[in-house]
Amino acid sequence: MAEPDGPAAGAGRRLATAPRVITVPKELRQLTAGWTGSGQLVGLVPTMGSLHAGHMSLVAAAQRECDKVVVSIFVNPLQFAKGEDYLSYPRRLDADLALLAEQGVDACYCPQVETVYPEGFATRVLVDAGSELWESAMRPGHFSGVATVVSKLFAAAGPGRAYFGEKDAQQAAVVSRLAKDLDLGVEVSVCPTVRDPDGLALSSRNQLLSAAGYRAARCLSRALIEAARRFAAGVVSGAELSAAAAQVIDSEPGVRFDYAGVVDPADFRPVIEANGETRVLVAAGVEGVHLIDTSLLASPPRASR
Amino acid sequence: MAEPDGPAAGAGRRLATAPRVITVPKELRQLTAGWTGSGQLVGLVPTMGSLHAGHMSLVAAAQRECDKVVVSIFVNPLQFAKGEDYLSYPRRLDADLALLAEQGVDACYCPQVETVYPEGFATRVLVDAGSELWESAMRPGHFSGVATVVSKLFAAAGPGRAYFGEKDAQQAAVVSRLAKDLDLGVEVSVCPTVRDPDGLALSSRNQLLSAAGYRAARCLSRALIEAARRFAAGVVSGAELSAAAAQVIDSEPGVRFDYAGVVDPADFRPVIEANGETRVLVAAGVEGVHLIDTSLLASPPRASR
């Protein structure tokens, strides 16, 4: 394997040929069934597009571990609650496809909404574990929308592995549970959050922020760092740690504090007493944009500048 | 293909070797992926066991149309409402396996309850189409239980086709919708109801009846015949036809009338005016056993003795 910074940087990177673009599930199934049938491991990276370095780190992980990589791009209306930013969510398919071509991805599945949810569509997948708090409480129906579309993506792509980002830790837990519960035979990999030099977790939604909003959004990662700092200094009370994180966000001008949770990573329930496995979840509204971040108390984001 | 009554009766019947018995989803996936990978079409017949000629007609259809046939046997607790007959539902795995061996079925998937629903299981699949009336109203949670277990069976077995009986028409509609909605790539075949010489639809639950109850249960098919007779005589009012069916059941001593519906087969909603495509649904309780039957107005059961 080449060194990350060596001349062949990006181990597993293929020749820069455009990925095969697929828009209907049947065609995707045929393609991946051929790969699977010849013994190749298929990796799937589900995205809503507007790809950034966070997504590309998932793609790189998939390329390291799998024989073929499919990236799906679909802004899923089912996972947006009423009044959320479904319409304004950034979309730029051409730029995304160029990035995927550069990275040598094998196929890109980018169906139309009417293909995914045709008239008469009547099925929902619900996952209860760890999904009734935090994002679930903030965004009614969100995880059911995620679980439903991921079920469809897994069924059509038939991957052996699928890649999700740690930033959306609660989503990753829902998808892992779903894959196990429905016998989907998919191993769910959760990859580390990619951050900008100031610690802000990369998110397609960051594009919706002004320069001032972008700076203000750093309070999320600073909140995680503050909780971890107190934990390192001996504080183990979940209530005290979450209050410390909340305080950082709440004191940032122009930012709406949504939640700060100090939780058991197994079920996302608040812990009384924290340990090294404990996860911190934070969320805030910045210029009307919903932003989230998370880290383990034992491995917070690096301090911002 | 041999004639049904010829010397090689049972076209597609294999040598009488025992099916491979599988109890965990991973092993099932490996087996069927091998078949699918070599271009063979896999047929799945999901059952709750206590196999009768109705089930075996599904198996025979699968054997005619597919290269490999898997029968699943699992009494699914999730599809029994509280207070229903989950515990008393007939179970006789050894006899079932002998039948499947005789029929030359390739594999039988008979997992334990703890395998299908391990601790922490937290996922439900819901299908709204045509599922809020009749059996759904009678049996809260029933179709969600069916949809959840069928999703699991389809995911583990990866069939190209799956076979269900017309007697459970509403279930077949739910499963068809589910397979389409979740891009499962499974073609759902609905096969004709098999009846005893008196017209009673075969059901594993019939075993729970006394001889008197068994005779009384014939009122279900007689109700279908009566509705069809009136339709043939020119009656098209859905209300009048369903009242006629209800009357047959309601006048049978010792039988609890549950429902009679004259419905559009597309959405299971009552029709104002019936036509040849219209379906009649009936249900009754006989000696505490829940029995259902159905037919199209245009093709009722043959008259009983």
**pLDDT number for residue B132:** 81
Query: Would you state the pLDDT for residue A3?
Result: 37
Here the tokens at position A187 are 């191993």
A20-191 CATH: 3.40.50.620
Residue where the block lists tokens 């959306």? A168
Backbone dihedral angles phi then psi of residue A28, each to the nearest 5 degrees: -60, -45
pLDDT (average), residues B132-143? 91
Q: Which of B31, B19, B25, B21 is nearest to B156 (CA)?
A: B25
Contact yes or no for A13/A105 (Cβ under 8 A): no
* Residue given tokens 């937290």 in the structure block: B122
pTM of the predicted protein model: 0.92
How confident is residue B185, by pLDDT bands cut at 50, 70 and 90? very high
What integer is the mean pLDDT of B82-92? 91
Question: Is B181 close to A123, i.e. CB distance below 8 A?
Answer: yes
Does B37 sit within 8 Å of A181, measured CB to CB?
no
**CA–CA dist A225, A200 (Å, integer):** 12
**What does the pLDDT read at residue B79?**
95
Backbone CA torsion sign across B78, B80, B82, B88: negative
Judging contacts by C-beta atoms under 8 Å, the chain B residues touching residue A148 are 182
Considering only alpha carbons, which residue of chain B is nearest residue A178? B123
A→B contacts (Cβ < 8 Å), by residue, are 25-26, 29, 33, 36-38, 120-129, 147-148, 151-152, 155-156, 177-178, 181-185
Query: Which residue out of B52, B55, B142, B290 is catalytically annotated?
Result: B55
User: What average pLDDT values come out for chain A (305 residues) when binned by 10 residues?
Assistant: 38 67 97 94 98 98 98 97 90 96 97 97 90 87 96 98 97 96 98 96 95 97 98 98 98 97 95 97 97 97 66
Q: From A39, which residue of chain B is nearest by alpha-carbon distance?
A: B37
Q: Do A183 and B124 touch (CB under 8 A)?
A: no
ipTM of this complex prediction, to 2 decimal places: 0.90
Q: Are strands B20-22 and A289-296 parallel, antiparallel or unpaired?
A: unpaired
Of B120, B148, B155, the CB nearest to A184: B155
Inter-chain residue contact A177 with B126, CB threshold 8 Å: no
Tokens for A280, please give them.
């911190």
Does B42 have pLDDT greater than 60?
yes
Contact residues, chain A, for B185 at CB < 8 Å: 25-26, 29, 155-156
B156/A33 touch (CB, cutoff 8 Å), yes or no: no
Say what the pLDDT of residue A17 is. 81
Q: Which residue of B has its CA nearest to A160?
A: B29
Taking CB atoms and an 8 Å cutoff, what residues of chain A touch B124?
125-126, 128
Q: Which residue has the tokens 């519960």?
A: A181
Q: Please give the average per-residue pLDDT across B171-185, as a whole number.
A: 97
Chains A & B: contacts with CB separation below 8 Å = 87
Q: Percentage of residues in chain B with pLDDT exceeding 70?
A: 93
Q: 3.50.40.10, 3.30.390.50, 3.30.1300.10, 3.40.50.620: which CATH number matches A204-296?
A: 3.30.1300.10
Domain ranges of chain A: 20-191, 204-296
Q: Which residues contact A176 (CB under 8 A, 6 or more apart)?
A: A188, A190
pLDDT of amino acid B9 = 40
What pLDDT score does A131 carry? 56
In this prediction, residue B4 carries a pLDDT of: 38
**CA Rg value for chain B:** 19
Token duo for residue B165: 């009986």
pLDDT band at residue B12 under the 50/70/90 scheme: very low
pLDDT of residue A82: 86
pLDDT of A4 reads 38
Put simply, the answer to whether B121 touches A181 (Cβ < 8 Å) is yes
Q: Between B3 and A171, name the one with better pLDDT.
A: A171
In the predicted model, is pLDDT for residue B15 greater than 80?
no
- Most A CBs within 10 A among B42, B44, B123, hence the mutation to make, goes to B123
Output the pLDDT for position B83.
87
Residue carrying structure tokens 């009357």: B247
Helices (H), chain B: 25-37, 53-65, 93-103, 113-116, 135-138, 142-157, 169-181, 211-216, 219-232, 238-250
- Residue A11 has a pLDDT of 43
| Active site positions of A, annotated | 55
- pLDDT tens for residues B142-173? 999 999 999 999 999 999 999 999 999 999 99
